[in-house]
Structure 1
Amino acid sequence: MTKLVCAVIVTYNRLEVLKQALRCIERQTIQPACVVIADNNSTDGTREYLATINAKGNIHCLLLEKNIGYAGGLAHGINYGLTLKQFDYFWMMDDDSFHADNTLADLLQSIQQNDCDIIGSAGFNMKYGVKQKLTARTTLQHADVVLVDGALVKAAVVAKVGAPDEKFFMMCEDYEYCKRMRKEGFKIGLLQIPSTNRLYMGGGGTFTKATLWRGYYHSRNHMLILKQYFSFSSLIGYCITQTKFLLAAAVLAPDRFQRVRFRLKGIWHGLRGVEGKSLDPATLQFQLNK
Protein backbone atom coordinates (compact mmCIF):
# COMPACT_ATOMS: atom_id res chain seq x y z
CA MET A 1 0.00 0.00 0.00
CA THR A 2 1.40 3.40 -1.00
CA LYS A 3 1.95 5.72 1.94
CA LEU A 4 0.82 9.32 1.59
CA VAL A 5 3.42 11.96 2.43
CA CYS A 6 2.87 15.68 2.88
CA ALA A 7 6.10 17.63 2.29
CA VAL A 8 6.30 20.96 4.14
CA ILE A 9 8.96 23.45 3.10
CA VAL A 10 9.60 26.84 4.74
CA THR A 11 11.13 29.69 2.76
CA TYR A 12 12.13 33.32 3.19
CA ASN A 13 13.79 35.60 0.63
CA ARG A 14 15.67 32.86 -1.25
CA LEU A 15 13.71 32.48 -4.47
CA GLU A 16 16.36 30.80 -6.62
CA VAL A 17 17.34 28.48 -3.78
CA LEU A 18 13.67 27.59 -3.26
CA LYS A 19 13.29 26.76 -6.96
CA GLN A 20 16.23 24.37 -6.76
CA ALA A 21 14.78 22.71 -3.63
CA LEU A 22 11.45 22.25 -5.42
CA ARG A 23 13.20 20.66 -8.40
CA CYS A 24 14.77 18.16 -5.98
CA ILE A 25 11.32 17.30 -4.67
CA GLU A 26 9.95 16.90 -8.19
CA ARG A 27 12.69 14.36 -8.95
CA GLN A 28 11.95 12.09 -5.99
CA THR A 29 11.45 8.46 -7.01
CA ILE A 30 8.50 8.38 -4.62
CA GLN A 31 6.50 11.57 -4.90
CA PRO A 32 4.86 13.36 -1.98
CA ALA A 33 1.09 13.39 -2.25
CA CYS A 34 1.18 17.08 -1.38
CA VAL A 35 3.75 19.89 -1.13
CA VAL A 36 2.95 22.77 1.22
CA ILE A 37 5.19 25.83 0.89
CA ALA A 38 5.05 28.31 3.78
CA ASP A 39 6.52 31.70 2.85
CA ASN A 40 7.55 33.99 5.71
CA ASN A 41 6.47 37.23 3.99
CA SER A 42 9.36 37.35 1.49
CA THR A 43 10.16 40.57 -0.36
CA ASP A 44 12.40 39.21 -3.16
CA GLY A 45 9.74 38.05 -5.64
CA THR A 46 9.09 34.73 -3.91
CA ARG A 47 5.44 35.53 -3.21
CA GLU A 48 4.82 36.52 -6.81
CA TYR A 49 6.41 33.27 -8.00
CA LEU A 50 4.39 31.19 -5.55
CA ALA A 51 1.21 32.81 -6.82
CA THR A 52 1.98 31.31 -10.26
CA ILE A 53 2.36 27.74 -8.96
CA ASN A 54 -0.21 27.70 -6.17
CA ALA A 55 -2.90 25.01 -6.58
CA LYS A 56 -1.09 23.54 -9.59
CA GLY A 57 -0.84 19.79 -9.23
CA ASN A 58 -0.19 18.96 -5.61
CA ILE A 59 1.31 22.32 -4.57
CA HIS A 60 -0.26 24.51 -1.89
CA CYS A 61 1.32 27.88 -1.02
CA LEU A 62 0.79 29.71 2.25
CA LEU A 63 1.64 33.41 2.06
CA LEU A 64 2.15 34.35 5.70
CA GLU A 65 1.59 37.97 6.70
CA LYS A 66 4.83 38.27 8.68
CA ASN A 67 8.10 36.44 9.26
CA ILE A 68 7.39 33.91 12.01
CA GLY A 69 10.61 31.95 11.52
CA TYR A 70 11.29 28.35 10.64
CA ALA A 71 9.37 27.02 13.63
CA GLY A 72 6.33 29.13 12.81
CA GLY A 73 6.44 28.28 9.12
CA LEU A 74 6.59 24.56 9.90
CA ALA A 75 3.72 24.85 12.36
CA HIS A 76 1.48 26.64 9.88
CA GLY A 77 2.45 24.32 7.02
CA ILE A 78 1.82 21.14 9.00
CA ASN A 79 -1.43 22.39 10.48
CA TYR A 80 -2.61 23.35 7.01
CA GLY A 81 -1.64 19.91 5.74
CA LEU A 82 -3.79 18.35 8.44
CA THR A 83 -6.84 20.10 6.96
CA LEU A 84 -6.30 18.71 3.45
CA LYS A 85 -6.55 14.95 3.84
CA GLN A 86 -5.39 11.96 5.87
CA PHE A 87 -1.63 11.71 5.37
CA ASP A 88 0.61 8.96 6.75
CA TYR A 89 3.73 11.10 7.12
CA PHE A 90 4.97 14.67 7.11
CA TRP A 91 8.35 15.44 5.53
CA MET A 92 9.74 18.66 7.02
CA MET A 93 12.43 20.73 5.34
CA ASP A 94 14.12 24.08 4.92
CA ASP A 95 14.47 25.71 1.51
CA ASP A 96 18.28 25.36 1.39
CA SER A 97 18.40 21.57 1.77
CA PHE A 98 18.64 19.70 -1.51
CA HIS A 99 17.68 16.02 -1.45
CA ALA A 100 18.78 13.38 -3.92
CA ASP A 101 16.16 11.50 -5.90
CA ASN A 102 15.98 8.51 -3.56
CA THR A 103 15.84 10.41 -0.24
CA LEU A 104 12.12 10.11 0.44
CA ALA A 105 12.13 6.46 -0.63
CA ASP A 106 14.99 5.73 1.77
CA LEU A 107 13.25 7.53 4.62
CA LEU A 108 9.98 5.69 4.04
CA GLN A 109 11.69 2.31 3.87
CA SER A 110 13.63 2.95 7.06
CA ILE A 111 10.73 4.26 9.13
CA GLN A 112 8.53 1.35 8.07
CA GLN A 113 11.17 -1.26 8.83
CA ASN A 114 12.38 0.11 12.16
CA ASP A 115 10.86 0.84 15.51
CA CYS A 116 10.82 4.62 15.44
CA ASP A 117 8.32 7.42 14.86
CA ILE A 118 10.52 10.13 13.37
CA ILE A 119 13.73 9.82 11.35
CA GLY A 120 16.27 12.57 10.78
CA SER A 121 19.78 12.69 9.34
CA ALA A 122 21.48 14.76 12.05
CA GLY A 123 21.05 14.53 15.80
CA PHE A 124 22.43 14.12 19.27
CA ASN A 125 21.97 12.54 22.68
CA MET A 126 21.77 14.33 26.01
CA LYS A 127 24.00 13.24 28.90
CA TYR A 128 23.68 15.04 32.22
CA GLY A 129 21.91 17.82 30.35
CA VAL A 130 24.76 18.36 27.87
CA LYS A 131 24.43 17.74 24.14
CA GLN A 132 26.55 14.95 22.69
CA LYS A 133 26.56 15.04 18.90
CA LEU A 134 26.06 11.72 17.14
CA THR A 135 27.59 10.62 13.85
CA ALA A 136 24.83 9.31 11.62
CA ARG A 137 25.32 5.78 10.28
CA THR A 138 23.90 3.96 7.29
CA THR A 139 22.00 1.74 9.73
CA LEU A 140 19.37 3.41 11.87
CA GLN A 141 20.23 4.25 15.48
CA HIS A 142 18.12 5.74 18.24
CA ALA A 143 18.76 9.29 19.41
CA ASP A 144 17.37 11.77 21.90
CA VAL A 145 17.03 14.55 19.34
CA VAL A 146 17.13 14.86 15.54
CA LEU A 147 17.03 18.04 13.48
CA VAL A 148 13.61 18.46 11.92
CA ASP A 149 15.06 19.77 8.65
CA GLY A 150 14.71 16.80 6.30
CA ALA A 151 13.06 14.62 8.95
CA LEU A 152 10.13 12.30 8.24
CA VAL A 153 7.56 12.03 11.03
CA LYS A 154 4.51 9.82 11.30
CA ALA A 155 1.20 11.65 11.05
CA ALA A 156 0.04 9.75 14.13
CA VAL A 157 2.79 11.50 16.09
CA VAL A 158 1.66 14.90 14.81
CA ALA A 159 -1.93 14.06 15.74
CA LYS A 160 -0.76 13.29 19.29
CA VAL A 161 1.85 15.98 20.03
CA GLY A 162 1.15 18.62 17.37
CA ALA A 163 3.59 20.49 15.15
CA PRO A 164 6.84 22.24 16.12
CA ASP A 165 6.08 25.21 18.39
CA GLU A 166 6.13 28.59 16.67
CA LYS A 167 6.98 30.38 19.92
CA PHE A 168 10.65 29.53 19.27
CA PHE A 169 10.85 31.47 15.96
CA MET A 170 14.33 30.09 15.18
CA MET A 171 16.64 27.71 17.07
CA CYS A 172 15.87 24.83 19.45
CA GLU A 173 12.49 23.94 17.93
CA ASP A 174 13.97 20.51 17.14
CA TYR A 175 15.07 19.99 20.74
CA GLU A 176 11.67 20.82 22.22
CA TYR A 177 9.77 18.84 19.57
CA CYS A 178 11.76 15.69 20.28
CA LYS A 179 11.42 16.17 24.04
CA ARG A 180 7.66 16.41 23.54
CA MET A 181 7.68 13.19 21.50
CA ARG A 182 9.79 11.25 23.97
CA LYS A 183 7.53 12.40 26.81
CA GLU A 184 4.66 10.65 24.98
CA GLY A 185 6.73 7.50 24.43
CA PHE A 186 7.59 8.02 20.75
CA LYS A 187 10.96 6.86 19.45
CA ILE A 188 13.45 8.93 17.49
CA GLY A 189 15.73 7.52 14.80
CA LEU A 190 18.94 8.84 13.25
CA LEU A 191 19.94 7.70 9.76
CA GLN A 192 22.77 8.79 7.50
CA ILE A 193 21.50 10.31 4.28
CA PRO A 194 24.69 11.27 2.41
CA SER A 195 22.76 12.41 -0.63
CA THR A 196 21.36 15.44 1.21
CA ASN A 197 23.18 18.71 0.53
CA ARG A 198 22.55 21.39 3.16
CA LEU A 199 23.78 24.88 2.33
CA TYR A 200 23.28 26.21 5.87
CA MET A 201 22.58 29.62 4.40
CA GLY A 202 21.00 30.90 7.60
CA GLY A 203 23.92 30.38 9.95
CA GLY A 204 27.28 29.80 8.29
CA GLY A 205 30.57 30.89 9.82
CA THR A 206 31.62 31.38 13.42
CA PHE A 207 31.30 35.05 14.36
CA THR A 208 28.87 36.33 11.74
CA LYS A 209 25.72 38.43 11.92
CA ALA A 210 23.69 35.23 11.61
CA THR A 211 25.39 33.54 14.57
CA LEU A 212 25.00 36.76 16.55
CA TRP A 213 21.20 36.79 16.45
CA ARG A 214 21.06 33.00 16.57
CA GLY A 215 23.05 33.13 19.81
CA TYR A 216 20.31 35.27 21.32
CA TYR A 217 17.55 32.88 20.23
CA HIS A 218 19.57 29.86 21.32
CA SER A 219 20.01 31.08 24.88
CA ARG A 220 16.42 32.36 25.09
CA ASN A 221 14.75 29.26 23.64
CA HIS A 222 16.99 26.91 25.57
CA MET A 223 15.82 28.68 28.75
CA LEU A 224 12.16 28.41 27.69
CA ILE A 225 12.63 24.66 27.24
CA LEU A 226 14.45 24.35 30.57
CA LYS A 227 11.52 26.00 32.34
CA GLN A 228 8.99 23.79 30.55
CA TYR A 229 10.81 20.48 31.13
CA PHE A 230 12.77 21.29 34.25
CA SER A 231 15.22 18.87 35.81
CA PHE A 232 18.41 19.50 37.78
CA SER A 233 20.50 17.74 35.14
CA SER A 234 19.00 20.00 32.47
CA LEU A 235 19.75 23.05 34.60
CA ILE A 236 23.38 21.96 34.96
CA GLY A 237 23.55 21.30 31.23
CA TYR A 238 22.11 24.73 30.46
CA CYS A 239 24.66 26.46 32.67
CA ILE A 240 27.55 24.50 31.13
CA THR A 241 26.39 25.13 27.56
CA GLN A 242 25.73 28.86 27.93
CA THR A 243 28.94 29.42 29.89
CA LYS A 244 30.90 27.74 27.10
CA PHE A 245 29.35 30.01 24.45
CA LEU A 246 29.76 33.13 26.58
CA LEU A 247 33.43 32.42 27.25
CA ALA A 248 34.10 31.70 23.57
CA ALA A 249 32.44 34.98 22.59
CA ALA A 250 34.23 36.98 25.28
CA VAL A 251 37.66 35.62 24.40
CA LEU A 252 37.52 35.07 20.63
CA ALA A 253 34.82 37.19 19.01
CA PRO A 254 35.75 40.52 17.41
CA ASP A 255 32.34 41.86 18.48
CA ARG A 256 32.60 40.27 21.93
CA PHE A 257 30.64 42.91 23.86
CA GLN A 258 27.61 42.81 21.59
CA ARG A 259 27.72 39.04 21.30
CA VAL A 260 27.91 38.51 25.07
CA ARG A 261 25.16 41.10 25.61
CA PHE A 262 22.82 39.38 23.13
CA ARG A 263 23.32 35.96 24.71
CA LEU A 264 22.82 37.31 28.24
CA LYS A 265 19.72 39.15 27.08
CA GLY A 266 18.45 35.89 25.61
CA ILE A 267 18.83 34.23 29.02
CA TRP A 268 16.96 37.10 30.67
CA HIS A 269 14.18 37.07 28.09
CA GLY A 270 13.84 33.31 28.49
CA LEU A 271 13.42 33.76 32.24
CA ARG A 272 10.75 36.39 31.57
CA GLY A 273 8.94 34.10 29.13
CA VAL A 274 9.46 36.21 25.99
CA GLU A 275 8.38 34.21 22.92
CA GLY A 276 8.21 34.52 19.13
CA LYS A 277 10.17 37.01 17.06
CA SER A 278 11.67 39.31 19.67
CA LEU A 279 14.88 40.20 17.81
CA ASP A 280 14.78 41.17 14.14
CA PRO A 281 17.57 39.26 12.35
CA ALA A 282 17.81 41.94 9.65
CA THR A 283 18.11 45.03 11.87
CA LEU A 284 19.25 43.41 15.14
CA GLN A 285 16.63 45.52 16.90
CA PHE A 286 14.53 44.08 19.72
CA GLN A 287 10.73 44.03 19.37
CA LEU A 288 9.38 42.39 22.48
CA ASN A 289 5.97 40.74 22.50
CA LYS A 290 5.76 40.72 26.26
Structure 2
Amino acid sequence: MENRQEEPRFSVIIVTCNRLALLKECVAHASNQEKMPEKIIIINNASTDGTLEYLQEEQFQSPLYHIVNESENLGGAGGFSRGVETALAEKGDWFLLIDDDAMIAPDFLSSIAEAVKSHPECGAFTGVVETEGQIDTLHRRRRKKAGSVQMVNIPEEVYKGEEFELDAASFCGLVVGRKIVEKIGLPEKEFFIWNDDLEYSLRIRMHTEIRNINRARLNHKTNLYSQRSSKRYLWKDYYGFRNYFYTCRKYGNKTDCIMSYAIPRLRLIYWRMQHIISRKDYVYNLEMLNRCRKDAKQGKLGIVKEYFPG
Protein backbone atom coordinates (compact mmCIF):
# COMPACT_ATOMS: atom_id res chain seq x y z
CA MET A 1 0.00 0.00 0.00
CA GLU A 2 1.17 3.53 0.78
CA ASN A 3 4.64 4.47 2.03
CA ARG A 4 4.10 4.84 5.78
CA GLN A 5 7.71 5.92 6.59
CA GLU A 6 6.82 9.57 6.01
CA GLU A 7 4.06 11.68 7.51
CA PRO A 8 0.88 11.38 5.37
CA ARG A 9 0.31 14.31 3.02
CA PHE A 10 -3.27 15.26 2.19
CA SER A 11 -4.96 17.01 -0.69
CA VAL A 12 -8.50 18.22 0.06
CA ILE A 13 -10.79 18.18 -2.99
CA ILE A 14 -13.86 20.43 -2.78
CA VAL A 15 -16.49 20.44 -5.53
CA THR A 16 -18.82 23.45 -5.62
CA CYS A 17 -21.61 24.88 -7.74
CA ASN A 18 -23.59 28.03 -6.86
CA ARG A 19 -23.33 27.67 -3.08
CA LEU A 20 -20.98 30.51 -2.24
CA ALA A 21 -21.88 30.84 1.45
CA LEU A 22 -21.32 27.13 2.04
CA LEU A 23 -18.09 27.17 0.06
CA LYS A 24 -16.67 29.97 2.21
CA GLU A 25 -17.40 28.00 5.38
CA CYS A 26 -16.07 24.78 3.86
CA VAL A 27 -12.80 26.47 2.85
CA ALA A 28 -12.45 27.97 6.34
CA HIS A 29 -12.68 24.51 7.91
CA ALA A 30 -10.33 22.87 5.40
CA SER A 31 -7.72 25.58 5.83
CA ASN A 32 -7.75 25.52 9.64
CA GLN A 33 -6.74 21.94 10.35
CA GLU A 34 -4.46 20.78 13.14
CA LYS A 35 -2.64 18.92 10.40
CA MET A 36 -2.65 21.22 7.41
CA PRO A 37 -3.28 19.76 3.96
CA GLU A 38 -0.60 19.88 1.30
CA LYS A 39 -3.13 21.35 -1.11
CA ILE A 40 -6.76 22.45 -1.20
CA ILE A 41 -8.19 21.84 -4.67
CA ILE A 42 -11.44 23.62 -5.48
CA ILE A 43 -13.42 22.59 -8.55
CA ASN A 44 -15.84 25.37 -9.45
CA ASN A 45 -18.57 23.86 -11.61
CA ALA A 46 -19.36 26.99 -13.66
CA SER A 47 -20.97 28.84 -10.73
CA THR A 48 -22.79 32.10 -11.49
CA ASP A 49 -23.33 33.35 -7.92
CA GLY A 50 -20.07 35.19 -7.31
CA THR A 51 -17.98 32.07 -6.64
CA LEU A 52 -15.60 32.87 -9.51
CA GLU A 53 -14.93 36.34 -8.10
CA TYR A 54 -14.46 34.94 -4.59
CA LEU A 55 -11.88 32.43 -5.85
CA GLN A 56 -9.93 35.30 -7.41
CA GLU A 57 -9.37 36.97 -4.04
CA GLU A 58 -5.85 37.34 -2.65
CA GLN A 59 -6.00 34.40 -0.23
CA PHE A 60 -6.32 31.97 -3.13
CA GLN A 61 -3.00 33.14 -4.60
CA SER A 62 -1.36 31.12 -1.82
CA PRO A 63 0.36 27.87 -2.93
CA LEU A 64 -2.01 26.09 -0.55
CA TYR A 65 -4.77 26.40 -3.16
CA HIS A 66 -5.29 25.01 -6.63
CA ILE A 67 -8.39 26.49 -8.26
CA VAL A 68 -10.06 24.95 -11.30
CA ASN A 69 -12.84 27.02 -12.85
CA GLU A 70 -14.88 24.93 -15.26
CA SER A 71 -16.61 26.54 -18.23
CA GLU A 72 -19.58 24.17 -17.87
CA ASN A 73 -21.25 22.23 -15.08
CA LEU A 74 -19.65 18.78 -14.99
CA GLY A 75 -21.89 17.62 -12.15
CA GLY A 76 -20.59 16.17 -8.92
CA ALA A 77 -19.19 13.13 -10.70
CA GLY A 78 -17.31 15.19 -13.27
CA GLY A 79 -16.13 17.57 -10.57
CA PHE A 80 -14.68 14.82 -8.40
CA SER A 81 -13.11 13.17 -11.41
CA ARG A 82 -11.42 16.45 -12.30
CA GLY A 83 -10.42 16.98 -8.68
CA VAL A 84 -8.77 13.59 -8.30
CA GLU A 85 -7.04 14.03 -11.65
CA THR A 86 -5.71 17.39 -10.43
CA ALA A 87 -4.60 15.90 -7.10
CA LEU A 88 -2.57 13.23 -8.87
CA ALA A 89 -0.43 16.00 -10.37
CA GLU A 90 0.22 17.46 -6.91
CA LYS A 91 2.33 16.09 -4.03
CA GLY A 92 -0.36 14.66 -1.75
CA ASP A 93 -0.47 10.95 -0.98
CA TRP A 94 -4.05 10.94 0.29
CA PHE A 95 -7.08 12.61 -1.28
CA LEU A 96 -10.07 13.78 0.78
CA LEU A 97 -13.27 14.18 -1.28
CA ILE A 98 -15.98 16.55 -0.04
CA ASP A 99 -18.75 18.74 -1.41
CA ASP A 100 -18.97 22.39 -0.36
CA ASP A 101 -21.49 21.55 2.37
CA ALA A 102 -19.08 19.33 4.33
CA MET A 103 -17.39 21.09 7.28
CA ILE A 104 -14.53 18.97 8.55
CA ALA A 105 -13.63 19.23 12.24
CA PRO A 106 -10.22 20.77 13.10
CA ASP A 107 -8.78 17.34 13.94
CA PHE A 108 -10.25 15.52 10.94
CA LEU A 109 -7.02 15.21 8.95
CA SER A 110 -4.87 14.55 12.03
CA SER A 111 -7.24 11.71 13.04
CA ILE A 112 -7.04 10.19 9.57
CA ALA A 113 -3.25 10.61 9.59
CA GLU A 114 -3.03 8.58 12.81
CA ALA A 115 -5.18 5.87 11.23
CA VAL A 116 -3.03 5.83 8.09
CA LYS A 117 0.04 5.10 10.22
CA SER A 118 -1.80 2.54 12.37
CA HIS A 119 -3.21 0.59 9.40
CA PRO A 120 -0.49 0.19 6.76
CA GLU A 121 -2.63 -2.40 4.99
CA CYS A 122 -5.54 -0.01 4.40
CA GLY A 123 -5.83 2.18 1.30
CA ALA A 124 -9.00 4.15 2.07
CA PHE A 125 -10.56 5.79 5.12
CA THR A 126 -13.69 7.73 6.02
CA GLY A 127 -14.94 9.82 8.91
CA VAL A 128 -18.29 10.17 10.65
CA VAL A 129 -20.93 12.32 8.93
CA GLU A 130 -23.14 14.30 11.28
CA THR A 131 -26.18 16.30 10.19
CA GLU A 132 -28.08 18.56 12.57
CA GLY A 133 -26.13 17.04 15.46
CA GLN A 134 -26.99 13.43 14.58
CA ILE A 135 -24.99 10.70 12.89
CA ASP A 136 -26.24 10.29 9.32
CA THR A 137 -25.84 6.56 8.67
CA LEU A 138 -26.77 6.90 4.99
CA HIS A 139 -23.15 7.79 4.13
CA ARG A 140 -21.48 4.59 5.38
CA ARG A 141 -22.87 1.26 4.17
CA ARG A 142 -22.19 -2.47 3.94
CA ARG A 143 -23.25 -5.16 1.49
CA LYS A 144 -26.44 -7.05 2.27
CA LYS A 145 -24.74 -10.23 1.09
CA ALA A 146 -21.31 -11.16 -0.20
CA GLY A 147 -21.06 -10.57 -3.95
CA SER A 148 -24.04 -8.20 -3.99
CA VAL A 149 -24.04 -4.44 -4.58
CA GLN A 150 -27.21 -3.98 -2.53
CA MET A 151 -26.19 -1.99 0.53
CA VAL A 152 -27.58 -1.35 4.00
CA ASN A 153 -26.75 1.54 6.31
CA ILE A 154 -24.33 0.70 9.10
CA PRO A 155 -26.33 1.07 12.34
CA GLU A 156 -25.56 3.88 14.74
CA GLU A 157 -24.44 1.56 17.55
CA VAL A 158 -21.41 0.54 15.45
CA TYR A 159 -20.18 4.12 15.68
CA LYS A 160 -19.67 3.72 19.43
CA GLY A 161 -16.39 1.89 18.86
CA GLU A 162 -13.14 3.37 17.59
CA GLU A 163 -13.52 2.30 13.95
CA PHE A 164 -15.24 -0.12 11.60
CA GLU A 165 -14.99 -1.50 8.07
CA LEU A 166 -17.46 -0.65 5.33
CA ASP A 167 -18.14 -1.38 1.68
CA ALA A 168 -19.55 1.89 0.32
CA ALA A 169 -18.95 5.50 1.26
CA SER A 170 -20.34 8.73 -0.08
CA PHE A 171 -18.00 11.45 -1.28
CA CYS A 172 -18.69 13.19 2.01
CA GLY A 173 -15.42 12.53 3.78
CA LEU A 174 -13.90 9.68 1.75
CA VAL A 175 -10.08 9.63 1.89
CA VAL A 176 -8.38 7.44 -0.71
CA GLY A 177 -4.67 6.77 -1.14
CA ARG A 178 -2.73 7.70 -4.27
CA LYS A 179 -1.61 4.09 -4.87
CA ILE A 180 -5.23 2.93 -4.94
CA VAL A 181 -6.23 5.72 -7.34
CA GLU A 182 -3.35 4.78 -9.63
CA LYS A 183 -4.78 1.25 -9.75
CA ILE A 184 -8.49 2.01 -10.17
CA GLY A 185 -8.48 5.31 -12.03
CA LEU A 186 -10.71 8.36 -11.58
CA PRO A 187 -14.35 8.56 -10.45
CA GLU A 188 -16.75 7.94 -13.34
CA LYS A 189 -17.31 11.42 -14.76
CA GLU A 190 -20.00 10.22 -17.17
CA PHE A 191 -22.36 9.55 -14.25
CA PHE A 192 -22.81 13.35 -13.94
CA ILE A 193 -24.42 13.08 -10.48
CA TRP A 194 -25.43 10.39 -7.98
CA ASN A 195 -24.08 6.90 -7.35
CA ASP A 196 -20.62 7.85 -8.60
CA ASP A 197 -19.48 7.33 -5.01
CA LEU A 198 -21.02 3.83 -4.86
CA GLU A 199 -19.34 2.80 -8.11
CA TYR A 200 -16.00 4.20 -6.94
CA SER A 201 -16.31 2.46 -3.57
CA LEU A 202 -16.83 -0.87 -5.30
CA ARG A 203 -13.66 -0.33 -7.30
CA ILE A 204 -11.76 0.61 -4.14
CA ARG A 205 -12.99 -2.53 -2.39
CA MET A 206 -11.46 -4.69 -5.13
CA HIS A 207 -8.03 -3.65 -3.82
CA THR A 208 -8.37 -2.63 -0.18
CA GLU A 209 -10.67 -2.33 2.79
CA ILE A 210 -12.31 0.99 3.65
CA ARG A 211 -12.07 1.87 7.33
CA ASN A 212 -14.22 4.46 9.12
CA ILE A 213 -12.40 6.36 11.89
CA ASN A 214 -15.01 7.40 14.43
CA ARG A 215 -12.99 10.23 15.96
CA ALA A 216 -12.75 11.94 12.55
CA ARG A 217 -15.94 13.99 12.23
CA LEU A 218 -17.55 16.36 9.79
CA ASN A 219 -20.73 18.40 9.81
CA HIS A 220 -22.83 17.93 6.69
CA LYS A 221 -24.84 21.14 6.45
CA THR A 222 -28.07 19.87 4.98
CA ASN A 223 -31.43 18.66 6.27
CA LEU A 224 -31.40 15.23 7.86
CA TYR A 225 -34.97 14.24 7.11
CA SER A 226 -36.01 16.40 4.17
CA GLN A 227 -38.95 15.04 2.17
CA ARG A 228 -40.34 16.00 -1.20
CA SER A 229 -43.79 17.45 -1.50
CA SER A 230 -44.35 15.62 -4.79
CA LYS A 231 -43.74 12.02 -5.89
CA ARG A 232 -43.04 13.10 -9.46
CA TYR A 233 -39.44 12.28 -10.28
CA LEU A 234 -36.97 15.14 -10.64
CA TRP A 235 -34.35 15.43 -13.38
CA LYS A 236 -31.78 14.21 -10.83
CA ASP A 237 -33.63 10.94 -10.40
CA TYR A 238 -32.81 9.94 -13.96
CA TYR A 239 -29.10 9.87 -13.12
CA GLY A 240 -29.67 8.17 -9.79
CA PHE A 241 -31.63 5.29 -11.33
CA ARG A 242 -29.57 4.97 -14.50
CA ASN A 243 -26.25 4.97 -12.67
CA TYR A 244 -27.49 2.47 -10.10
CA PHE A 245 -28.83 0.13 -12.79
CA TYR A 246 -25.51 0.43 -14.62
CA THR A 247 -23.54 -0.28 -11.43
CA CYS A 248 -25.65 -3.36 -10.69
CA ARG A 249 -25.05 -4.70 -14.18
CA LYS A 250 -21.29 -4.06 -13.98
CA TYR A 251 -20.54 -5.23 -10.45
CA GLY A 252 -23.59 -7.05 -9.13
CA ASN A 253 -25.29 -10.38 -9.60
CA LYS A 254 -28.52 -11.32 -11.37
CA THR A 255 -30.61 -10.66 -8.26
CA ASP A 256 -29.14 -7.15 -7.99
CA CYS A 257 -30.13 -6.40 -11.58
CA ILE A 258 -33.68 -7.67 -11.08
CA MET A 259 -34.28 -5.97 -7.75
CA SER A 260 -32.76 -2.64 -8.78
CA TYR A 261 -35.65 -2.20 -11.23
CA ALA A 262 -38.36 -4.22 -9.46
CA ILE A 263 -38.31 -2.22 -6.22
CA PRO A 264 -38.93 1.26 -7.72
CA ARG A 265 -41.39 -0.27 -10.21
CA LEU A 266 -43.45 -1.84 -7.44
CA ARG A 267 -43.26 1.38 -5.46
CA LEU A 268 -44.81 3.25 -8.38
CA ILE A 269 -47.64 0.72 -8.57
CA TYR A 270 -48.27 1.10 -4.85
CA TRP A 271 -48.30 4.90 -5.08
CA ARG A 272 -50.83 4.75 -7.89
CA MET A 273 -53.07 2.21 -6.17
CA GLN A 274 -53.08 4.33 -3.01
CA HIS A 275 -53.76 7.51 -5.02
CA ILE A 276 -50.51 8.98 -3.72
CA ILE A 277 -49.54 9.92 -7.26
CA SER A 278 -51.59 11.17 -10.21
CA ARG A 279 -51.91 9.08 -13.36
CA LYS A 280 -49.96 11.73 -15.29
CA ASP A 281 -47.04 11.61 -12.86
CA TYR A 282 -47.21 7.82 -12.73
CA VAL A 283 -46.79 7.62 -16.51
CA TYR A 284 -43.98 10.19 -16.43
CA ASN A 285 -42.12 8.30 -13.70
CA LEU A 286 -42.57 4.94 -15.42
CA GLU A 287 -41.27 6.29 -18.71
CA MET A 288 -38.19 7.70 -16.94
CA LEU A 289 -37.59 4.43 -15.08
CA ASN A 290 -37.78 2.43 -18.31
CA ARG A 291 -35.50 4.91 -20.06
CA CYS A 292 -32.98 4.51 -17.26
CA ARG A 293 -33.01 0.73 -17.54
CA LYS A 294 -32.59 0.87 -21.30
CA ASP A 295 -29.75 3.38 -21.18
CA ALA A 296 -27.95 1.44 -18.43
CA LYS A 297 -28.25 -1.79 -20.41
CA GLN A 298 -26.80 -0.10 -23.48
CA GLY A 299 -24.08 1.64 -21.49
CA LYS A 300 -25.33 5.10 -22.43
CA LEU A 301 -23.93 7.45 -19.81
CA GLY A 302 -23.18 11.17 -19.78
CA ILE A 303 -25.58 14.11 -19.69
CA VAL A 304 -29.03 13.64 -21.21
CA LYS A 305 -30.54 16.89 -22.45
CA GLU A 306 -34.05 15.97 -21.30
CA TYR A 307 -32.74 15.64 -17.77
CA PHE A 308 -30.44 18.58 -17.21
CA PRO A 309 -30.67 21.34 -14.58
CA GLY A 310 -32.22 24.57 -15.78
Shift of 1:153: 1.0
Q: Deviations over 1:122-181 (max 9, x none)?
A: 321222543211135142211111112211111111111122110111111111111112
Alignment of 1:199 with 2:221, yes or no, is yes
2:180 corresponds to 1:127: no
Matched, 1:78 2:105: no
Q: Deviations over 1:25-80 (max 9, x none)?
A: 12211110100000111111111211224432310110112111111111111111
Alpha-carbon distance, 1:230 to partner: 4.6
Which structure would you say has the larger Rg?
2
Q: How does 1:149-168 map to 2 (within 5 A)?
A: 149-168=172-191
Cα distance between partner residues in 2 of 1:107 and 1:256 = 46
Contact 2:233 2:285 in 1 (8 A): no
Q: Which residue number corresponds to residue 134 of structure 2?
A: none
Deviation, 1:107, is 1.9
| Matching residue within 229, 244, 257 for 1:235 | 257
2:113 maps to which residue? 108
TM-score (norm 1): 0.86
Q: Say yes or no: does 1:271 pair with 2:297.
A: yes
* 8 A contact 1:55–1:61 mirrored in 2: no
AA in 2 matched with 1:266: C
Residue 309 of structure 2 is aligned with which of 273, 282, 288? 282
For 1:134, the aligned partner's letter is I
> Unpaired segments of 5 or more residues in structure 2?
1-5, 129-138
Greater displacement, 212-221 / 234-243: 234-243
User: Structure 2 length normalisation: TM-score?
Assistant: 0.81
Identity of aligned residues (%): 24
Select between 190-199 and 248-257 the one with higher mean Cα deviation. 248-257
Residue 281 (structure 1) shift = 4.5
Comparing both chains, which one has the higher relative contact order based on Cα–Cα distances under 8 Å and sequence gaps of 6 or more?
Answer: 2
SS in 2 for 1:227: helix
Residues 125 and 212 in structure 2, CA contact (< 8 A), matched pair in contact too: yes
Match of 1:175 in 2: 198
State the Cα distance separating 1:224 from its structure 2 match.
1.6
Q: Compared with structure 1, are the counterparts of its residues 180 and 207 closer, same or farther at alpha carbon in structure 2 (3 Å cutoff)? A: farther
Q: What is the aligned length?
A: 280
2:234 maps to which of 212, 218, 233: 212
Superposition deviation, residue 280 in structure 1: 4.3
Query: 1: CA distance between counterparts of 2:241 and 2:38?
Result: 38
Aligned to 2:56: 51
Describe the shift of the 1:241–1:181 C-alpha distance in structure 2 as closer, same or farther (beyond 3 A): farther
1:186 — aligned with what? 208
Match of 2:98, as an amino acid? M
Equivalent residue for 2:135? none
